Amino acid sequence: MLIRNATLPDGRQGVDLLVRDGRIAALQPGLAAPEGATVVDAGGWLLSPPFVDAHFHMDATLSYGLPRVNASGTLLEGIALWGELKPQLTQEALVERALQYCDWAVAQGLLAIRSHVDVCDPRLLAVEALLEVRRRVAPYLELQLVAFPQDGVLRSPGALDQLKRALDLGVDVVGGIPHFERTMDEGAQSVRLLCELAAERALPVDMHCDESDDPLSRHIETLAFHSQRLGLQGRVTGSHLTSMHSMDNYYVSKLLPLMREAGVHAVANPLINITLQGRHDSYPKRRGMTRVPELLAAGINVGFGHDCVLDPWYSLGSGDMLEVAAMGLHVAQMTSQQGMRQCFDAVTVNNARILGLDGYGLEVGCRADFVLLQARSPAEAIRLRAPRLLVVRGGHVLARAPERQVALQLPGRPPSVDFTLAR
């Protein structure tokens, strides 16, 4: 396959991309098409590495309204609602909903997802369902699973054993939720034991950490400490980190270098953070999202996750990582040229680093995974939630969509065609 005349996220224009044996064999202007190659005219549109979601809950997705909707809209009612739904779940329904979501993802150029899976169910029904989904989607989507003790690894009886069983079954990452344990002290103990478990098994860690508006929720400090102590640099992620929004500035000035030293990745979930945080405030209401520009400026890798789509916590969402980037951009006020580009990176390359994806990127030798967006630049892709014209994985086309445009016929004006209106 030869892709002709693409624009790349770094601004290079008129670039051709040659695929051979599922890899990018050449990337430069003016490449000749080998005999028999499929030639695709990119028409100058933006060719990007695929979207990656660093934080999702595939066991809960598309369950909106089951058994009822979240009336208060709070995180805690969402957790209670999920608890009501859990006994009613069947493996078939879990698999069906997850597969449907994966179809949505692929159609939008989202080809790798890290999903948490709740292990606080002695049957491990969701774990078995998502392991089955991981196996079935493997030819077209990389699904990474995190053993997530939703009700607290110490607070929920049997959760630690179930978490270990989930890892034995092949779940990829150790999860946690220290701010949901009974006390700060138990939260800190949970971080320690889960990091030690990950070190023992040579697995990555990804914890829901400080998903709270409490400025004194400081489990990220403990997570950074144990990452550094156990030599887990680059393998540990703190997800949400919303308490950081409310922390004292002096304390944050000490915390960020510790996170940097420990090589901890950070994940913000803009759609969910702006929806769930600040719920106990009157006015002014806090935004609650973690300090994205400051984390980036401190040299910490920051990704954005979708977190939820149509589930007990969030009544919207569609698997569109450009919507996630747009919300992150607004909430963090990252409106400069550099800021908008950083938000695009937060749903592509930064998340790929968090997942540790092999051969990801638009470079010679990388896997031939990419998405063609009907936009001229990353900022325009975010602004327009650009149509995904072509989604390719390993050189195989997974999805195609026609270019969108609107033909205007305005009185007193010559007819015209505009793609930026066709959203």
Choice between 83 and 361, CB closer to Fe ion: 83
Helix ranges, 86-124 (H):
91-107
Choice between 63 and 374, CB closer to Fe ion: 63
Choice between 295 and 371, CB closer to Fe ion: 295
The DSSP H or E segment spanning 51 is strand 51-57
The tokens describing 372, both together, are 């063609």
The tokens describing 50, both together, are 């695929």
Report which residue's Cβ sits closest to Fe ion. Answer: 307
In the complex, the smallest distance separating the C-beta of residue 421 from Fe ion, rounded to whole angstroms, is 36
Whether the CA torsion 94, 304, 278, 264 is positive or negative: it is positive
The CA distance from 182 to 184, in Å, is: 7
If phi > 0 it is left, if psi is from -120 to 50 it is alpha, else beta; for residue 124 that is left
Asked if residue 203 lies in contact with residue 171, where contact means CB atoms within 8 angstroms, the answer is: no
Q: What separation in angstroms does the CA of 380 have from each of 42, 213, 322, 369, 383?
A: 16, 33, 10, 21, 5
Enumerate binding residues for Fe ion (CB under 5 A).
307
In the complex, the smallest distance separating the C-beta of residue 55 from Fe ion, rounded to whole angstroms, is 6
Choice between 179 and 235, CB closer to Fe ion: 179
Instruction: Select from 251, 337, 366, 341 the least CA-distant residue to 46.
Output: 341
In the complex, the smallest distance separating the C-beta of residue 26 from Fe ion, rounded to whole angstroms, is 40
The DSSP H or E segment spanning 219 is helix 219-229
The helix/strand/coil state of 94 is helix
In the complex, the smallest distance separating the C-beta of residue 404 from Fe ion, rounded to whole angstroms, is 32
In the complex, the smallest distance separating the C-beta of residue 57 from Fe ion, rounded to whole angstroms, is 6
In the complex, the smallest distance separating the C-beta of residue 332 from Fe ion, rounded to whole angstroms, is 18
Residue 35 known to be catalytic: no
Whether the CA torsion 101, 102, 108, 110 is positive or negative: it is positive
Choice between 51 and 148, CB closer to Fe ion: 148
The DSSP H or E segment spanning 2 is strand 2-6
Choice between 53 and 307, CB closer to Fe ion: 307
Strands (E), 163-301: 173-174, 205-209, 236-240, 264-268
Place of tokens 């909707």: 69
Q: Is 403 exposed, middle or buried (0-12, 13-18, 19+ CB in 10 A)?
A: exposed
In the complex, the smallest distance separating the C-beta of residue 337 from Fe ion, rounded to whole angstroms, is 31
Catalytically annotated residue among 92, 96, 196, 211? 211
* Radius of gyration of the chain, Cα coordinates, nearest whole angstrom: 22
The CA distance from 238 to 266, in Å, is: 5
The CA distance from 395 to 40, in Å, is: 12
Choice between 307 and 320, CB closer to Fe ion: 307
Cite the active site residues.
211
